[in-house]
Amino acid sequence: MTAATTAIRRPPRWLTRALLKPGNVLPAMVWMFLVANQALNSAFPPSPSTAGLVLINTVAMILFVVRRDPTKVAGKIDGAIALAGTFSVSFLKDAGQLQDAELLPTLIQAAGVIGWAIALSTLGRSFGVVPADRGLVRHGPYRFIRHPIYAFETLFFIGYLAAVPTPRTFIVIAVWAVLQVVRIIREERIIGGYDEYRQGVRWRLIPFVW
């Protein structure tokens, strides 16, 4: 085996560093537990919506581990808001209702998951949970709205609420929505070049609304 072949097979340095950081791996393990808990609290076999939610969170967890090092990180209050906003939906429990959901709520959730996946893959290694500056993403869905991940998450949870219209679902999603609005407003203050980006992309979540 030549030295060139060995070099080709080595993982990138940024990946090695990311996997060795306790600050990356330990939170990801907690995330994995919450995702697994959510799956276990749902009906078996899981509905397509539940499976999609678990898959999306698994992808997000992987991106979290390999995320790019930030040039600037928000304070503890912003971090607490972001963590609460991310993991508050772990308290959702479908109790089997998603298995019997009507077509429209299912289609809404499917559209939300697909858009969510596209936005997440576009963000790539700039993804994070706590607000931080890991580089401003302007392509893909970020050309049209400033927070497409949150927008498609909202669409998914609207479909979820329509499929499982219980007091528990309403309370969890309402708390999540309030946290996300606060998170969005505070998050925009920390990313470099955001003022210029805001002028070109006017809307945060819903075109012509907000």
**The domain spanning residue 172 has which CATH number?**
1.20.120.1630
Does 9 map to a domain?
Answer: no
For 65-91, write each residue's pLDDT tens digit: 777 888 888 888 888 888 888 888 878
Structure confidence at residue 2 (pLDDT): 52
For 36-55, write each residue's pLDDT tens digit: 766 666 666 667 777 777 78
Say if residues 147 and 204 touch (Cβ distance below 8 Å).
Answer: yes
Does 191 map to a domain?
Answer: yes
CA 70/CA 191 separation, integer angstroms: 10
Does 143 map to a domain?
Answer: yes
For 162-183, write each residue's pLDDT tens digit: 888 889 999 999 999 999 999 9
Does 116 map to a domain?
Answer: yes
Q: Which long-range contacts (CB under 8 A, 24 or more apart) does 44-48 make?
A: 47/94, 47/98, 47/99, 47/101, 48/106, 48/109, 48/110
pTM of the entire predicted model: 0.80
Domain that holds residue 143: 14-200
Does 35 map to a domain?
Answer: yes
Does 158 map to a domain?
Answer: yes
Does 104 map to a domain?
Answer: yes
Structure confidence at residue 152 (pLDDT): 94
CA 60/CA 148 separation, integer angstroms: 14
| Domain count along the chain | 1
Confidence of residue 13 (pLDDT cuts 50, 70, 90): low
Does 3 map to a domain?
Answer: no
